[in-house]
Amino acid sequence: MSPEAEPDQERLTVAVLAGGRSSEHDVSLSSGEAVREGLQAAGHEVIWVEIGRDGAWRCAGERVSMTPAAGLLGADVAFPALHGPFGEDGTVQGLLETLEVPFVGAGVAASAVCLDKVLFKQLMSARGIPQVDHLGVLEDRWSLAREEVLADVAALGLPAFVKPAHQGSSVGIVKVTSAEQVAGALDGAFAHDRLAIVEAAARGIEVECSVLGSLRSERAEGAAEAFASPPGQIALAGDWYDFEAKYSPGGMDLRVPAPISRAASERVRELALEAFVGSGCEGLARVDFFLEEERVLVNELNTMPGFTPTSVYAKLLEASGIGYAELVDRLCRLALERSAAQRAYLY
């Protein structure tokens, strides 16, 4: 993909989906507002669909009625600017497939796998991709074998991070520095999810890399199916990258390009593309890493990262020469291209 490629100027009608049932409802609304403005700047018509905390879909204050194979409010394509469960986990993607509406981002399977932090790490392990040491814990096992779980966590070493497996934006995450804190942290994680993940603390710096799919019409023979941005370093004002650091002014500083060696930067981009392709992602993703000196470790992959112009995903691509309006336009083109290819198959 050439970052300088000019987007097609055909006017589209885009349904922007924002809000949702997850704890990231407000973050999603901010992402959706930015996407709407970007699409309008690119010359497209936008239909705003807000999903309430109750799960109801509304447009212009009225409930949206949906019929299989009948589309969505006449939109050419949907942009689900949704984060976390009930939006980034394959559920909405499956609904849009049923409506026969092309949509931005990963499909059902990749969305479900990547939001499940344990399953994603298992997939990356199967591909031989280096990661931080981790442990998945089911709530039922915690109830029946607490001492065994505590022993397994102790084997990872402290400090460690305890997280719900299906949440984003650092929701429900606790940093534990003593054995006495582990039980409370797991109980807190299980308030959000039946599956928790415990990760050993990495010793290095955190960097992130944006991935953007390339249009088939632009690809030269043998060209990559996606573009990986130069990595950026997350420089924190506090101790670790929690919710406040992500969304409070001054909580973190993004350094682009990251002050790392050329070899480490190339390795980050290589692994970002491998994680993107290996997990079946399409359209976009943000891949998060830890660097322990020159050793690069994959941490997570977000199929729909925060999407304001000041969010890490967009800022990394802006540094690559891809402006925000061009970015959201391109993602819609990718969605349409994928949908047309899928419809050509015999079922």
pLDDT at 300 over 70: yes
Residue 35 sits at φ, ψ, to 5 deg, of: -60, -45
What's 41's domain CATH number?
Answer: 3.40.50.20
Q: Is residue 56 part of a domain?
A: yes
Residue 146 sits at φ, ψ, to 5 deg, of: -60, -45
Q: What is the pLDDT of residues 139-177, one digit of tens each?
A: 999 999 999 999 999 999 999 999 999 986 567 799 999
Q: Is residue 345 part of a domain?
A: no
Under 8 Å CB-to-CB from 168, ≥6 apart: which residues?
22, 24, 83, 84, 88, 115, 302
* Cα–Cα nearest to 23, from 199, 166, 174, 190: 166
How close are the terminal C-alpha atoms of the chain, in Å? 31
Residues 156 and 117 in one domain: no
- The reported pLDDT for the residue numbered 168 is 67
Q: What is the pLDDT of residues 213-248, one digit of tens each?
A: 999 877 776 677 899 999 999 986 656 554 554 545
pLDDT at 18 over 60: yes
Task: Write the DSSP symbol of residue 216.
Answer: G
Cβ neighbourhood burial of 155 (10 Å; 0-12, 13-18, 19+): exposed
- Collapse the DSSP code of 320 into the 3-class scheme (helix H, G, I; strand E, B; otherwise coil) and give the result: coil
What is the DSSP secondary-structure string of 101-141?
A: --BSS--HHHHHHHHSHHHHHHHHHHTT--B--EEEEEHHH
Q: Is residue 5 part of a domain?
A: no
The number of domains in the chain is 3
* Cα–Cα nearest to 325, from 105, 2, 39: 39
Distance from C-alpha of 24 to C-alpha of 115, rounded to nearest angstrom: 13
Under 8 Å CB-to-CB from 143, ≥6 apart: which residues?
none
- The pTM (predicted TM-score) of the whole model is 0.91
Residues 196 and 247 in one domain: no
Cβ neighbourhood burial of 126 (10 Å; 0-12, 13-18, 19+): exposed
Q: Return the ∠ at Cα 56 (arms to 32 and 324), rounded to 5°.
A: 10
Q: Is residue 347 part of a domain?
A: no
Task: Write the DSSP symbol of residue 6.
Answer: P
Q: Kindly list the strands in the beta sheet with 57-59, ordered across the sheet, starting from the edge strand earlier in the chain.
A: 62-63, 57-59, 45-51, 13-19, 77-80
- Residue 179 lies in domain: 134-200
Residues 146 and 181 in one domain: yes
Distance from C-alpha of 119 to C-alpha of 43, rounded to nearest angstrom: 39
Residues 226 and 333 in one domain: yes
- The reported pLDDT for the residue numbered 81 is 98
pLDDT at 118 over 70: yes
Contact 66, 60 (CB under 8 A): no
Cβ neighbour number for residue 146 with a 10 Å cutoff? 13
Q: Is residue 7 part of a domain?
A: no
